[in-house]
Amino acid sequence: MEWSDCERLTEALVFAAARHRDQRRKDADRSPYINHPIALLQVLLVEARIQGPPEVLIAALLHDILEDTATRPEELAERFGAEIRDLVLELTDDKSLPKAERKRLQIERAAGLSPKARLIALADKISNLRDLATSPPPDWDLERRRAYFDWAAAAVEPLRGTHAELERLFDLALSRRP
């Protein structure tokens, strides 16, 4: 990556940290939400060795920002460009829909994701499964955890053929199904 890409990535991290500052994960430790976007960066950059295009890494840090904060798509475009906004929009659930419908739509739309969005979606599922296996939310019983693992497997199936190492990491995370 070029120095300017590192600057943009750092700007995205600072922006995401500020926007998610009061949010917590649902895990047993109630860890800071920003740990999740950082985990995606770890999966993509360090584990899968995806060093570019930088838009993938930047959008990974911002992937939940429209869904979980008051950030508007126009603001993302102004700060990070239309491509980042569009990538984040591809990965954003419509929170006005019931949760079951949002989950169904993720599976239905997975095959139509752009190649860059597919990388982020895979990293997101890897991170979520790892967290669920190591520190499940206290109010999630065994049946609910297993159902999430099963849903994640279905959501990733249309993404097969995207990136061999990410798929290997996903399968490893999936193998920890309770």
pTM score, two decimals?
0.96
pLDDT tens-place string over residues 27-83: 989 999 999 999 999 999 999 999 889 999 999 999 999 999 999 999 999 999 999
Q: What is the CATH number of domain 3-174?
A: 1.10.3210.10
Q: In whole angstroms, what is the distance from residue 151 CA to residue 171 CA?
A: 13
Could you tell me if 54 and 1 are in contact, meaning their C-beta atoms sit under 8 angstroms apart? yes
Q: Is the pLDDT of residue 112 over 80?
A: yes
Count the Cβ atoms, other than its own, within 10 Å of residue 146.
14
pLDDT tens-place string over residues 120-132: 999 999 999 999 9
pLDDT at residue 84, as a whole number = 98
Residues marked active site are found at 67-68
Mean pLDDT of 167-175: 99
